[in-house]
Amino acid sequence: MSVIERWHEHVARGDPALLDALIAENCVFQSPAVHSPQVGKAITLKYLRAALAVLNNPTFRYLDEWVGADSAVLEFEAEVDGLTVNGVDMIWWNEAGQIIRFKVMVRPLKALNALVARMAAELSRAG
């Protein structure tokens, strides 16, 4: 099963073990709201779990994807607080099939602001 197939399985099932197996120890997470890249598996898992809690509601769906040899771009859409969030997950992986870099970009600004507030609340709950 490819990295992207495993990613889609994780999103569909929400199984923490699937996500844990996908993320490399030295993974770098780039948030649309945080200037500095977040480095390491633990912080990447924290952000991705929070994002799943906030975005993975009945309105969430992937619209399209572009897959290369060791990277992919997945366009998504979801509603948050009555606003349509449109974004992309940019994912790179290593030869072992683990994600080494995950960048999220979101638009429009009003939706990003709503997402930032919800993510902050979720991250504070996660400790």
CATH number at residue 67: 3.10.450.50
Helices 109-126 and 41-55 pack at an angle, to 10 degrees, of 120
pLDDT at 87 over 90: yes
Q: Give pLDDT, residue 126.
A: 64
pLDDT at 36 over 70: yes
Instruction: Quickly state the pLDDT bin for 43 (edges 50, 70, 90).
Output: very high
Identify the domain containing residue 65 by its residue range.
3-126
Average pLDDT over residues 90-94: 98
* Number of domains composing the chain: 1
Could you tell me what percent of the chain has a pLDDT over 70?
98
- What's the chain's average pLDDT? 93
Rg, the chain, Cα only: 14
Closest-CA residue to 116 (of 31, 11, 27, 14): 31
Q: What is the DSSP letter of 33?
A: S
Instruction: Quickly state the pLDDT bin for 61 (edges 50, 70, 90).
Output: very high
For residue range 100-116, what is the model confidence (pLDDT) as tens digits? Answer: 999 999 999 999 999 88
**Phi-psi domain of 99 (left: phi exceeds 0; alpha: psi -120 through 50; beta: other):** beta
